Amino acid sequence: MTAPRLLLGSCPDSWGVWFADDPQQTPWERFLDELAEVGYEWLELGPYGYLPTDPSRLRDELARRSLRVSGGTMHGESGLHRPGDFPAILDKTRKVAELTQAVGARHVIFVPVPGYRDDTTGAYLEPAELDADGWTTLIDATNELGRIIAEEYGVALQLHPHAGSHVETQEQTERFLTGTDPRFVSLCLDTGHLAYRRADNVAIIRKYPERIGYVHIKQMDPTILEKAEREDPAFGQAVAMGASCEPPAGLPDIRSIVEALRGLDAEKFVIVEQDMYPTAFDRPKPIADRTRTYLRGAGVGG
């Protein structure tokens, strides 16, 4: 029996784009042009408002470059553990889900940022660990969010573990998966963020095969990881130090992850999401090209 395909794509993060309205970041037209020139077929939309939000225009821009959408990205809201934040989160997620549906994609990746620290100063904004009530609220809100966008838009919610958020370690990831409803919530397995917190990506894939709905693939520089563990920077500060690196130089081992993913019984999107460090902002295209070549050689894509 042929193993399910791993569909390879990329996203604006790999071009140094984290916000919709930063005038110094890569223009969206250049991002789409270079993405297609490198040879990627699939893309995740990135921060809402970076790419055109008019569905007709977005479809036209993608079609001109023979690009297709793997999923939409919801980030900029991390308060699912705070009851009062849910209405605003739902409103923003609906916009992402509507656009995602309109361009033919079926995944909404929820990235819980900003987290419990200020990425620039490193200051703690709230406790790093949730109490029992916080966990209950987080689980219930995520289930409800997933139910609503599944029923109203036909898209699946994929929660992205993120360094500096309340779902970042292996223990927290497993607690989240155990508590959430598999009908409405799956995991966007982010290999780099989980490795940053020393989680075992392969173990998570094998223990929760039915819950791996989507993959962000990247690596972390082991030297920067050790420094981060000693000095305790916020994740944004670690990225500025060069924590996110090109494969195959970092952790986790890509080939082991690909092997584990190929053991799953369904087709999966594997999206390159390299958190570009500032000194790489002027050369995202060659980095993306080399990364795609490596990943295809490792068995992703095709």
**Residue listed under structure tokens 């890509």:** 254
The answer to whether residue 270 is domain-embedded is yes
Q: What is the structure's pLDDT at 275? A: 82
Residue by residue, pLDDT tens for the chain (302 residues) are 455 699 999 999 999 898 888 888 899 999 999 999 999 999 999 999 999 999 999 999 999 999 999 999 999 788 999 999 999 999 999 999 999 999 999 999 999 999 999 999 999 999 999 999 999 999 999 999 999 999 999 999 999 999 999 999 999 999 999 999 999 999 999 999 999 999 999 999 999 999 999 999 999 999 999 999 999 999 999 999 999 999 999 999 999 999 999 999 899 999 999 887 655 566 899 999 999 999 999 999 85
272 occurs within a structural domain: yes
> Is residue 105 situated within a structural domain?
yes
**C-alpha count within 13 angstroms, C-beta hemisphere, residue 290:** 11
Q: Are 178 and 207 in contact (CB under 8 A)?
A: no
Look at residue 239 and tell me if it is in a domain: yes
Expressed as residue numbers, the domain containing 211 is 6-297
Residues 162, 190: contact at Cβ < 8 Å? yes
What is the CB neighbour count within 10 angstroms for residue 250? 22
Strands 219-220 and 244-245 come out as: antiparallel
159 - beta bridge partners? 110, 187
pLDDT of residue 276: 72
Half-sphere exposure of 38 (CA within 13 A, CB side): 31
Q: Is residue 144 part of a domain?
A: yes
Q: How many domains does the chain have?
A: 1
Q: What is the CATH number of the domain that holds 209?
A: 3.20.20.150
The pLDDT, as a whole number, for residue 23 is 81
Indicate the helix (H) or strand (E) that contains 202: helix 201-207
Cα–Cα nearest to 155, from 163, 145, 164, 170: 145
Residue at 191 is within a domain: yes
Q: What is the predicted pLDDT for the residue at 76? A: 79
Q: Is 302 among the domain residues?
A: no
Count CA within 13 A, CB hemisphere, residue 280: 22
One-letter identity of residue 208: Y
For residue 1, being part of any structural domain is answered with: no
How many other CB atoms are there within 10 angstroms of residue 195's CB atom? 23
Residue 77: the pLDDT is 84
